[in-house]
Structure 1
Amino acid sequence: MIVRMLDYMGVETNVKSKVELADISQISEYAQAAVQYLAAHDVLVSGAETKFNPKKNLKRAEMAKVLMRSLRISDWY
């Protein structure tokens, strides 16, 4: 959803560099490119640099960080 928001804002969201995530196989195939993009731009908050933790719920503060970091990528912030 964050990458779709960035697309709507006119941000180019093509994955240029991949981040090695230990749990990439647990991420649905359709979402892997979006996760790679957000991980490469330091948007994701997971507690560990090499894990996405797709089964974990975000806390309110973590989601706020994700939104603020996403907005910094765009010209909207």
Structure 2
Amino acid sequence: DARLKAIRDYRFYLKMSEQRGFEAGKTEGVQEGLEQGKLILIMNMLKKGMEVKDILYFAGVSEEEVEEAKKLLE
């Protein structure tokens, strides 16, 4: 029956859309968590008095990220 097939197709489409949305949200959340963790690491290094060149080397971050962390500490 065509109506039954249409209902099944619609449910499948909804399930796939939900799954894609979940995966996209999960990826975005992980990325935000990594960025936040990196910022906390930089801030802790600054609090310990590490030199910027050492932070750049050990944390693998940019000077802009270090400057952003400095502003948050002020």
- TM-score category (smaller protein): under 0.3
TM-score (norm 1): 0.22
Bigger radius of gyration among the two? 2
More RCO (CA 8 Å, sep 6+): 1
- Structure with higher helix content: 2
Q: What TM-score, normalized to structure 2?
A: 0.23
